[in-house]
Amino acid sequence: MVTKLPKVDVVTIGVGWSAGIIAAELTKKGKKVVGLERGKERKTEDYYMAHDELRYAVRHEMMQDLSKETITFRNNDKMRSLPMRSYGSFLLGVGVGGSGAHWNGQNFRFLPYDFELRSKTIEKYGLDKIPADMTIQDWGITYDEIEPYYDQYEKMAGISGEDNPLGGKRSNPFPTPAMKKTEAMRLFDDTTKRMGYHPYVQPSANLSENYTNPDGISRAACQYCGFCERFGCEYGAKAEPGVTVLPVAQATGNFEVRPHSEVRRILYTNGKATGVLYTDLTTGEEFEQPADVVVLSGYVFTNVRLLLLSGIGRPYDPTTGTGVIGKNYAYQIRKGRATGFFDDHKFNNFAGAGGLGMIIDDFNGDNFDHSDLDFIHGGMIILGQTGQRPIANNQVPSGTKSWGKEFKDASLKYTNASLTVSGEGASMAYKQHFLDLDPVYKDAFGDPLVRITFDFEEQDRQLTKFMAEKCGEILKEMGANHVDVSGDLGPYNVAEYQSTHNTGGVIMGADPETSAVNNYSQMWDVENLFVVGASSFPQNAGYNPTGTVGALSYRAAEGILKYMEKGGSLI
């Protein structure tokens, strides 16, 4: 028995950054928006006991309950896919604010090269530079076109930073100055400058000083307590939907969040979405929520899964390379790194902020010549200071036993005397990397789980080796007595935490044949369905994704308003 509710202008699936930004922009213009969120409500006061590494970081307090829904994984289509039974390679967000509530606040603009990756690579190096199975695409939007939306997002969030000497042009300076520099950051800064590189302080959503944004929302400055990633911020200093866009939407009186509401299907008739079917998880009741516009904003996995479950769009077929839903799943290449151990130098590694660090982009994008290299792109190189909590951080030099007296002694000696410099490598798309529905494993409702088919390729191995060497050189110059360089990538392992920057599956582009959404995140096949998130990245860049998801969300909000006025395809 499904209860049909009164129609609203817009319904969002999930209430995180994308839905929050869109809800704020639309409700300001008088549109009625309902946000359906399967998780619970949250507020800053909830994080009173947030400095608890075990509860939040190790036991994943704020993450999706895998007993209800997980993903399945295989390295290739010859393998049997099996469920990710406990957390490993990446984390899945849930609850009001989504992953935006527990992110680090590492905030970037992608490089101009990223948006035109395929054409610029061919232009400079020729078509032969791109392997036959590498399915990279241009975004259908250029850096110059997306720049105003980055600007809008950064002002809303109060991003703290300083100019990246090798980044795209900015129309405005950062809304707040760069974060403070720790001793380790100063050492990295001085060293990389001496080496001829171009260091800059990491752009951060942690907030370097008190700030009031254009919506009139005020937030207090970061206290560098060292509990950002996987935690909620008890100060409201870290920009997240709950302390920025959601209160703006709620103040209009036009926005309603319904927590514990899990969308099961997008309803679809005659080429248009008519609303969604959802279950109230507290009672088990089923509801139909009709809407003029449906916003699917579940980052990556939920976006792909709900489209496939609802029979919307053309599913990707890896044998022919046709179809688009599930295509170009990509990730982040994080194993090119080095750790330096200092015999006589300690740092305040326990303190920090999620978005605190120094970066060089000398080996990111096409900022260096790839003519004699066996890979394209690259990644940022970062010395981050996120706060090293004691359960997760027990760095010991290679060859040290992993338990017993030797381990204890070394892990204590180096806990504040080791620094890691790491590459955040871009991840290219391949014909054989994709998302679809698992034929065997089901969620708590009996619906198929999403299945990941993904592995690292030769491009990734070459990139990893290259980045690791660069990281090692920097640490040696920084004066580390012993440097462990980790350049061996191995196969992709879903049990090993690497990055929560999963991308693709509902990609953006200029051509409806090879992409699922246009550059307003509007589906080519269904004009009143907007699919917003990192699902629209045709491949991943050498940076964290949230800044770009934020910019695309502002662009989508503009598109939705245009669509509601005029209808039809926006492109």
Partner 1 sequence: MSEQKKSNAILDKKSSRRTFIKNSGLTVGGVVLGGALGSLLVNDKQNTPTNTNEHSGGTNSNPNVALMYFTPDQYRITEAAAERIFPADENGPGAKELLVAYYIDHQLAGAWGMGSKEYTSGPFFEGADTQGYQGRQNRQQIFQIGLKGIQDQSLKTYEKSFIELSEEEQDAILSEFADGNVELRGTSSAHFFGVLRTATIEGAYADPLYGGNANMEGWKMKNFPGHQMSFVNIIEKEFTVVEPMALNSQHKH
Taking the C-alpha atoms of residue 276 and residue 266, their distance in angstroms, rounded to an integer, is 4
Q: How far is the CB of 183 from partner 1 (least distance, A)?
A: 6
Please spell the DSSP secondary structure of 144-212, one letter per residue.
Answer: HHHHHHHHHHHHHHT-B----TTS---SS--SBPPPPPPHHHHHHHHHHHHTT---EEPPBSS-SS-EE
What is residue 222's DSSP assignment? P
Residue 133 binding partner 1, by CB under 8 A: no
The residue within the footprint of partner 1, chosen from 84, 263, 291, 508 (CB under 8 A), is 84
Q: How far is the CB of 405 from partner 1 (least distance, A)?
A: 5
Residue 299 binding partner 1, by CB under 8 A: no
Residue 439 binding partner 1, by CB under 8 A: no
Residue 52 binding partner 1, by CB under 8 A: yes
The residue within the footprint of partner 1, chosen from 70, 261, 303, 453 (CB under 8 A), is 70
The residue within the footprint of partner 1, chosen from 341, 492, 537, 543 (CB under 8 A), is 492
Do 105 and 228 meet the contact criterion of CB atoms below 8 Å apart? yes
Output the furthest CA–CA distance in the chain (Å, rounded). Answer: 71
* Residue 501 annotated to the active site: yes
Taking the C-alpha atoms of residue 395 and residue 113, their distance in angstroms, rounded to an integer, is 36
Q: For partner 1, which stretch binds (CB under 8 A), given 44-52, 375-383, 507-515, 532-540? A: 44-52
Q: Between 83 and 509, whose beta carbon lies closer to partner 1?
A: 83
Q: For partner 1, which stretch binds (CB under 8 A), given 38-46, 253-261, 346-354, 370-378? A: 346-354
Q: For partner 1, which stretch binds (CB under 8 A), given 110-118, 325-333, 489-497, 526-534? A: 489-497
Q: Between 345 and 501, whose beta carbon lies closer to partner 1?
A: 345
Residue 181 binding partner 1, by CB under 8 A: yes
The residue within the footprint of partner 1, chosen from 5, 28, 46, 74 (CB under 8 A), is 74
Do 356 and 223 meet the contact criterion of CB atoms below 8 Å apart? no
Q: Between 142 and 415, whose beta carbon lies closer to partner 1?
A: 415
The residue within the footprint of partner 1, chosen from 7, 28, 75, 281 (CB under 8 A), is 75
Residue 53 binding partner 1, by CB under 8 A: yes
Residue 162 binding partner 1, by CB under 8 A: no
Residue where the block lists tokens 């709950």: 242
Q: Between 51 and 120, whose beta carbon lies closer to partner 1?
A: 51
Taking the C-alpha atoms of residue 434 and residue 432, their distance in angstroms, rounded to an integer, is 6
Q: Between 30 and 177, whose beta carbon lies closer to partner 1?
A: 177
Alpha carbon distances (Å) from 86 to 58, 150, 455, 484: 11, 35, 19, 29
Task: Please give the sequence-ordered ranges of beta strands (E in DSSP) within 245-345, or none if there are none.
Answer: 255-258, 261-269, 272-280, 286-296, 327-330, 337-341
Q: For partner 1, which stretch binds (CB under 8 A), given 97-105, 116-124, 485-493, 538-546? A: 485-493
Residue 4 binding partner 1, by CB under 8 A: no
Q: How many Cα atoms occupy the beta-carbon half-sphere of 539 within 13 Å?
A: 26
Taking the C-alpha atoms of residue 90 and residue 108, their distance in angstroms, rounded to an integer, is 20
The residue within the footprint of partner 1, chosen from 136, 358, 494, 516 (CB under 8 A), is 494
Residue 251 binding partner 1, by CB under 8 A: no
The residue within the footprint of partner 1, chosen from 177, 346, 439, 568 (CB under 8 A), is 346
| Contact partners, residue 273, CB within 8 Å, separation at least 6 | 266, 267, 291, 293, 294, 312, 526, 528, 529
Residue 281 binding partner 1, by CB under 8 A: no
Round to the nearest angstrom and report the end-to-end CA distance of the chain. Answer: 39
Residue 193 binding partner 1, by CB under 8 A: no
Mark 377-416 with x for binding to partner 1 (rule: CB under 8 A) and - for no binding.
------------xxx--x-------xxxx--xx--x--xx
The residue within the footprint of partner 1, chosen from 252, 400, 462, 493 (CB under 8 A), is 493
- Encode 343-411 in three state secondary structure: CCCCCCCCCECCCCEEEECCCCCCCCCCCCCCCCCCEEEEEECCCCCCCCCCCCCCCCCCCCHHHHHHH
The residue within the footprint of partner 1, chosen from 495, 511, 567, 569 (CB under 8 A), is 495
Q: How far is the CB of 39 from partner 1 (least distance, A)?
A: 13
Q: Is 207 exposed, middle or buried (0-12, 13-18, 19+ CB in 10 A)?
A: buried
Q: CA nearest 138: which of 508, 496, 550?
A: 508
Give me the residues paired with residue 341 across strands.
418, 482
Q: Which of 102, 377, 433, 501 is catalytic?
A: 501
Q: What angle do CA 198, 201, 202 make, to 5 degrees?
A: 110
Residue 88 binding partner 1, by CB under 8 A: yes
Q: Which residues bind partner 1 (CB under 8 A)?
A: 48-49, 51-54, 58-60, 65-67, 70, 73-75, 79-80, 82-86, 88, 180-183, 223-226, 346-348, 350-352, 389-391, 394, 402-405, 408-409, 412, 415-416, 440-442, 491-495
Catalytic residues: 501
